[in-house]
């Protein structure tokens, strides 16, 4: 931040320094004796909340596979060597990059709806009845 020449009201009472808040003007207690400006907890909270935007939080994209930090030895494309997730700078560039195997995602079984289950059971029942009927006719002949 740029230094400003603003002087804020301050006073000492019973060995405790009080200073005017640089944003709202209320007094802040227990300020250091070398302090030139202070901000109260309310203004600080408002300022930090205004700076924070949950939509802007983006994790940096690392070109490393999942679980690379659990591998005994992992070498990334730049040649950096890691042993169980900890970088070993002495070995940088000495080993060839680790070959990454692509994982195949398993297809999830689609859950059948109640009606589909009933239709399947109904078909099975009809087939059993048909087999019974054929069996009875076969015995009588």
0.85 cut: is pTM over it?
no
45 assigned to some structural domain: yes
Q: For the segment 62-104, what is each residue's pLDDT rounded down to a tens digit?
A: 778 888 889 999 998 888 999 998 999 899 989 999 888 887 8
Question: Structural domain of residue 40, as residue ranges?
Answer: 10-55
Give the pLDDT of residue 13: 92
Residues 93 and 119 placed together within one structural domain of the fold: no
Q: For the segment 2-47, what is each residue's pLDDT rounded down to a tens digit?
A: 566 778 889 999 999 999 999 898 999 999 999 989 999 999 999 8
Q: Three-state SS string across the chain, please?
A: CCCCCCCCCEEEECCEEEEEECCCCCEECCCCCCCCCECCHHHHHHHHHHHCCHHHCCCCCCCCCCCHHHCCCEECCCCCEEECCEEEHHHCCCCCCCCCCCCCCCCCCCCCCHHHHHHHHHHHHHHHHHHHHHHHHHHHC
Residues 44 and 16 placed together within one structural domain of the fold: yes
126 assigned to some structural domain: yes
Q: How many domains does the chain have?
A: 3
């Amino acid at each position: 931040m740029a230094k400003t020449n603003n002087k804020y009201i301050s006073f000492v009472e019973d060995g405790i320094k009080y200073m005017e808040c640089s944003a709202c003007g209320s007094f802040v207690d227990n300020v250091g004796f070398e302090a030139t400006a202070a901000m109260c907890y309310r203004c600080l909270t408002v300022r930090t909340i205004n700076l924070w935007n949950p939509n802007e939080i983006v994790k940096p994209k690392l070109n490393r596979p999942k679980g690379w930090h659990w591998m005994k030895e992992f070498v990334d494309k730049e040649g950096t060597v890691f042993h169980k997730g900890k970088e070993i700078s002495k070995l940088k560039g000495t080993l060839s990059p680790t070959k990454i195997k692509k994982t195949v995602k398993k297809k999830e079984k689609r859950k059948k709806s109640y009606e589909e289950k009933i239709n399947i059971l109904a078909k099975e029942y009809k087939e059993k009845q048909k087999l019974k009927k054929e069996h009875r006719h076969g015995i009588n002949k």
